[in-house]
Structure 1
């Protein structure tokens, strides 16, 4: 379908809403709307056309390639097709995104973070890679490896949020448009999230760590609604499983049905292979694609073959040894949050 194709009321209702009872995931999807939902669609469309400008571009944040019916229904689902609430939400999104929009949503990741993007991913591994069996982009996140101390050395919470805008508007959105260009039938501008909790401990759930996740989620919930197709939480520790049973009881059935929690590594890989083609799945998750570290280096590594990061806690002095091959050259960069006037001496000797 053309991104600008106009859907009629009959097309929006299509097979009707009767199938929603057996498949809640069809609720609010074009082709399965009720008469009331269809009426709400056209009222929202009229408001978008009337306001134009930032209001319109916020609704079409991933580009008009998403298509009118799919973009508008995504926003409408987020507020249960209550048009007044949807309009308020878009207004909030316009306000939230005003500064990032003025900056072009930070097209240069280094300018956003204040450091090389590879350092961000070394301290908080996250990446988009591959397409799931249901045709949506797959996102991997490893909060169990999140190093708050490392992040505080290289950037700030504001820098992390600027980088999040960069990723959403210049990385994720590009991947969506690329899929649409390859397959005109691609319609679900959504994401399959794989949340890997391997290594997560209670001690890591600090106020600072949770602030990073909370602020990113706040942006997504207001500015990029209904973009989670599915979430698979894998390698979950026992303490999380207990909490999840309580959290799940708070969710509506449709949202809860999108989320699965799996504890063991073998069970996690088995389920991932059921949902994602083996060739699309990174090798560290049981697939045949490159491992996640190699993919990050490929996407953001420039001309570097490898990268090592080390956090040093100085109480007077400390040192770190780095082995460099005979045909290798190395660049060493030091980030510190120290406020003292102590000098850092780097590289006493290099032997290849």
Structure 2
């Protein structure tokens, strides 16, 4: 074999070896590339799953809402002074720094700031000892359905001003049977839990629906059939416990109360009880005979009033009006605004009249990320003011659980008298 042929053969061998090596390198690079792609895909999926679990999906399509908030100038000055005194004493946790809450405690103590401070601090101490701040998460009232059979009560609709309507059928209450399925302590915890739940949902929802500041309730007590069977020492203890909680820790939440289907026996008891009630409380109570139920329609629209009280609502699909929990707090779009942690609140105050001691404010609630211009928020607006009427997260409002402070006091007095 010639030298040239030998050289050619060597070149072919080298070329084939090079091809094999290149092919192997290519396969190696392909495998590495595929592995990198798989790893990247897995990583992206894992990261996405974490984001999905760690973040709730936010629907920004809910339109902004403006809410009218009218304040008395004298009251606002008192609230400011009260707030500054609480801050100076380190007695104003951010979650309770809310205009209407402060105003309620001032009203409960006739605007005596020193007495209001003491009442406020007692409230904070009670909340700490009772575990109120975490009661929504820590307490479960499994016996509620059974309890409603022997103590029919609940929220149902709103009045013509947009306030939530709370109803109790006291004549159908059976305290002895009630205590077979729960205890006084557990019911009081439920009472407090419902107060806390409603403070975060019902008043804010009603305010959004009515587009005006809602901070009180309309209550109806149906006393048809009320008699000695409805009262016992246990019942008196339960009512007294609720009365203490309501008056000391959730004051001034009742706008008006109707006692309906009142017979002559109840009127006699009430006449005696009135001697022990505060005149402000008496002014909020109307006692109606069975034939006077139509007066409720002056305050509450027929569609919002149960048929057993003279209205047209039955809530048959929900098992009855007192089991339906009917109200703006069940509207998904309204509740999106109530629960938006990202809500931006802009207060635009305007004086109603130079002669009137009131300021009309419009509070604009909109989720961050909307196209609405929120740059008009002024210094001192609700977006910056911790004592704003709706608070930084539009929180804080009404009591659900059975009787408000004035209501409880009245019932407690009737229990004692009877």
- The TM-score by the shorter chain falls in which range? 0.5 to 0.7
- For 1:177, which of 204, 207, 230 is the aligned residue? 204
Question: Residues of 2 paired with 1:75 and 1:217: CA distance?
Answer: 16
Structure 1 moving runs of 4+ over 4 Å: 51-56
SS of corresponding position for 1:288: coil
SS of corresponding position for 1:105: helix
If each structure's helix is expressed as a fraction of its own residues, which one has the higher value? 2
1:132·1:276 contact (CA, 8 Å) conserved in 2? Answer: yes
Q: CA offset at residue 83 of structure 1?
A: 0.5
Question: Residues of 2 paired with 1:236 and 1:254: CA distance?
Answer: 21
Question: Residues of 2 paired with 1:149 and 1:202: CA distance?
Answer: 12
TM-score, structure 1 normalization? 0.66
- For 1:46, which of 69, 75, 84 is the aligned residue? 84
TM-score, structure 2 normalization? 0.56
How do 1:1-352 and structure 2 match up within 5 A? 30-31=71-72, 33=74, 39-51=77-89, 55=93, 57-58=95-96, 64=98, 68=99, 70-101=100-131, 104-107=134-137, 111-113=139-141, 115-171=142-198, 173-185=200-212, 187-264=213-290, 266-268=291-293, 270-290=294-314, 294-299=320-325
If each structure's strand is expressed as a fraction of its own residues, which one has the higher value? 2
SS of corresponding position for 1:40: helix
Q: CA offset at residue 210 of structure 1?
A: 1.6
Question: Residues of 1 paired with 2:201 and 2:153: CA distance?
Answer: 17
2:160·2:301 contact (CA, 8 Å) conserved in 1? Answer: yes
* Alignment match, 2:408: none
Question: Residues of 2 paired with 1:56 and 1:221: CA distance?
Answer: 23
Gaps (5+ residues) in structure 2? 1-64, 327-418
Give per-residue Cα distances to partners, 1:122-177, cap 9 Å, x unaligned.
Answer: 11011111111232111001222111222222111111011111211113541111
The verdict on how the C-alpha distance between 1:273 and 1:102 changes in structure 2, with shifts beyond 3 A counting, is closer
Larger Rg over CA atoms: 2
* Alignment match, 2:26: none
Q: CA offset at residue 217 of structure 1?
A: 1.7
287-296 or 174-183, which deviates more: 287-296
Work out the number of aligned pairs and report it. 260
The verdict on how the C-alpha distance between 1:202 and 1:214 changes in structure 2, with shifts beyond 3 A counting, is same
Question: Residues of 2 paired with 1:106 and 1:231: CA distance?
Answer: 27
Superposed CA RMSD: 2.9
Q: CA offset at residue 112 of structure 1?
A: 3.5
1:40·1:82 contact (CA, 8 Å) conserved in 2? Answer: no
2:306·2:314 contact (CA, 8 Å) conserved in 1? Answer: yes
Q: CA offset at residue 104 of structure 1?
A: 1.4
1:236·1:263 contact (CA, 8 Å) conserved in 2? Answer: yes
1:125·1:142 contact (CA, 8 Å) conserved in 2? Answer: yes
